[in-house]
Amino acid sequence: MSLGDIPSPARRDADGTDGAHATDTTGGVAPTWLRALIRRANALMLLLSMFAIVASCVVLTASVFLRYFLHAATDWQDEVAVFLLVFVTFGSSGWVQAQRGHIGIEAFGGFLSERVNRLRWWLCDLISAAFCGFFTWKSWTLVQDAWAEGMTTSSTWAPPLWLPYGLMASGMSLLALQLLVQVLAGPGPRERSA
């Protein structure tokens, strides 16, 4: 599987070309190269997330086999599986946002005009971008602290904590950038998913 095989967050435009945006981010002030870079980074993170889910399943299945049949201690498998699932959760979030795939309640939106709805979507993106920007900053400070202080988990395996913090921070960074691109596109027409 290559990056080209991953479903793009952009739909085919009327001319049959693959656009550089998910939710009508052709307008606004976000440069095309930035949109393309974020799209490719999100696609790469999605691909890695797919492998991480499979790896997590393999680790947990192997753990059950090793414990039950071989009576071997596997004190590492829980942390490996959790680290992989942290990566999947945060790593794929930018791609999901580009798809507008997060859960949303649209009952209120049905009562609003299209223009007001576009503004509502844009304001939600703006607030989300601010929150995710703060979360990203705090995540990177956790990575720096864990690295500088040599923090590890309390298990006997004791892997460094900068690993899960780094996975979380990288995923949140992409999510914040995806939201920034959507905010810079302005309150133009939106599709539910692209």
pLDDT in tens, 43-78: 999 999 999 999 999 999 999 999 999 988 888 899
Output phi, psi for 29, to 5 deg.
-110, 5
pLDDT in tens, 74-121: 888 999 999 999 999 999 999 999 988 777 777 777 788 888 888 988
pLDDT category of residue 18 using cuts at 50, 70 and 90 = very low
- What is the pTM assigned to this prediction? 0.78
Measured distance CA(174)–CA(133) in Å, rounded? 10
